[in-house]
Every structure is written in C-alpha cells, then in structure tokens.
Copies of this chain bind each other. A is one copy, B any other.
Amino acid sequence: MGETKKPFEAQVIDGDASDLDSLIGYNMKRAYMIIQNDFRRIMKEDGFSASLFSALALVVQYPQISQSKLARMLGMERSGLVAIIDDLEKRGYVARATVPGDRRVYALAPLEAGLAAYREALAKIKAHEDKLLGALSKGEQQILVELLRKIRDIEVEK
C-alpha cells in the first residue's frame, strides 16, 4: 500500500462515456452471438449450420433456383455455396438438376427428405427462439424482425 511510485497512474486517463452501449453495431454483434450460439447448440446433432439451414430453406422456398441467385440471396459468394450444396446433395435433401435451355446452370430442387428435414428443423428453431427470446413480448419480437428486415434491405453502395 506504499505511495512510493505511481508507476502507471501518471499517464493513465480516466474513463468517460459509456457510448459503446449506444452503438447499434456493438449491440447487434452481442445479440447475434447469443442467438448464433444457441442455434449451434440446438442444431449440432442435426449437423445443420446456419448457412446450411438457410440455403435449404431458400431452395424449398424457391425451387429451381440457380446457385448464383441463391448465393446472392444469402449475401455470400458463389464459390462458398458449392460446399453447402454438395453437403445438401449428399444428404439427399437437394438435387442439382440440369436446365434444358442453359447448360451452365443447375436448378436446385428440394427432395422429399429435404423438405421433411427443413420442416422439422424450422419447428425446432422456432420453438427455441420463443424460449430464448422469452424476455421479449410477441409484439417486441415482431418489431425487432421488422427493424432487422429494414436493415437487411439496405443497399450498400459498391
């Protein structure tokens, strides 16, 4: 407890402002991590990553979609989607079908097993979201989704 040296206090600055808490980016990251970790934990046994699930969901939603279009909808590169579709194909969830008019593209089609797996996973995820987000009322959850969707739809230049 000696007051001899003050080795670092001399050049140390007092903290101010709790501005980090007011940044949307910071709060979004923290909230996203909570939900993301929960998703991983829930879907681990099914081997569904977030990307795998959402790719399957969009193929179910838009049958005959091409890989390029799907990648664009998911906000990722075409190249990154290849392994994901490979995986879905190996599971028998999705088929790469040739397109008569254009031999460059594949039409991605959901198979019965894929549709069943999608429905099961979706129910599981929804139930868990409800549980995880119990701190938010239904109305708040609705508002949150709407606000997130507005951000999602922002066009980023370049």
Task: Report whether A145 and B27 are in contact in the complex, using a CB–CB cutoff of 8 Å.
Answer: yes
From the candidates B32, B97, B140, name the one contacting A8 in the complex (CB within 8 A).
B97
Q: Are A110 and B12 in contact (CB under 8 A)?
A: yes
Could you say which of B31, B37, B125, B129 contacts A148, with CB atoms under 8 Å apart?
A: B31
Q: Are A15 and B135 in contact (CB under 8 A)?
A: no
Count class of interface residues, chain A: 35 or more
A interface SS class: helix
Q: B27 to A148, Cβ gap below 8 A? A: yes
Given A29-B36, A75-B30, A136:B151 Cβ within 8 A: yes
In chain B, what residue has the closest Cβ to A8? B97
CA distance A111 to B8 in the complex (A): 9
Query: Would you call A17 and B61 a contact (CB within 8 A)?
Result: yes
Chain A interface (Cβ < 8 Å from any Cβ of B): 1, 7-9, 11-39, 50, 54, 57-63, 75, 95, 97-98, 100, 107, 109-112, 114-115, 122, 125-126, 129, 132-133, 135-136, 140-141, 143-145, 147-154, 156
Show 27 residue pairs from A and B whose CB-CB distance is below 8 angstroms, ordered by the A residue.
Answer: A9-B109, A11-B111, A12-B95, A13-B110, A13-B112, A15-B59, A15-B62, A16-B60, A19-B122, A20-B58, A23-B129, A24-B133, A24-B141, A26-B50, A27-B148, A28-B148, A29-B54, A30-B148, A31-B148, A31-B151, A32-B32, A33-B75, A34-B151, A135-B151, A135-B154, A136-B150, A147-B147
